Amino acid sequence: MSPMALVEKFMSAARTASVFYQGNCTFKCITEETPLSSCFDSLAPPKPLFIVTPTVAGSYPVILLHHGFYLSNYFYKELLQHIASHGFVAVAPQLGFVILISYVGYVYVPPSGPEEIQLGAKVINWLPKGLQSLLPENVVADFTKFALSGHSRGGKTAFATALGHAKSSLSLKISVLIGIDPVAGADQHCRTYPHILTYSPQSFNLSIPVAVIGTGLGPEPKNACMAQPCAPDGVNHKEFFYECKPPCAHFVVKDYGHMDMLDDDPRGVVGALSGCMCKNGKGPRELMRKAVGGIVVAFLKAYLNGDDRDLVAIVGDPDFSCKA
Instruction: Kindly list the catalytic residues.
Output: 152, 181, 258
Q: Give the H or E element holding residue 191.
A: strand 190-191
Show contacts of 265-271: CB within 8 Å, 24+ apart: 266/71, 266/72, 266/74, 266/75, 267/72, 267/74, 268/72, 268/105, 269/104, 269/107, 270/70, 270/71, 270/72, 270/107, 270/108, 271/72, 271/75
**Helices (DSSP H) in 163-284: which residue ranges?**
237-242, 268-274
Q: Check: CB of residue 229 under 8 Å from CB of residue 220.
A: yes
- Helix crossing, 285-304 with 77-84: angle to 10°? 40
- 94-111 burial, b at 16+ Cβ within 10 Å, e below that, comes to bbbeeeeeeeeeebbebb
d(CA 280, CA 270): 16
CB 182 within 8 A of CB 102: no
DSSP H or E run through 285: helix 285-304
219 preceded by cis ω (within 30°)?
Answer: no
The end-to-end CA distance of the chain, in Å, is: 17
DSSP 83: H
> β-pairing, 89-93 with 58-66?
parallel
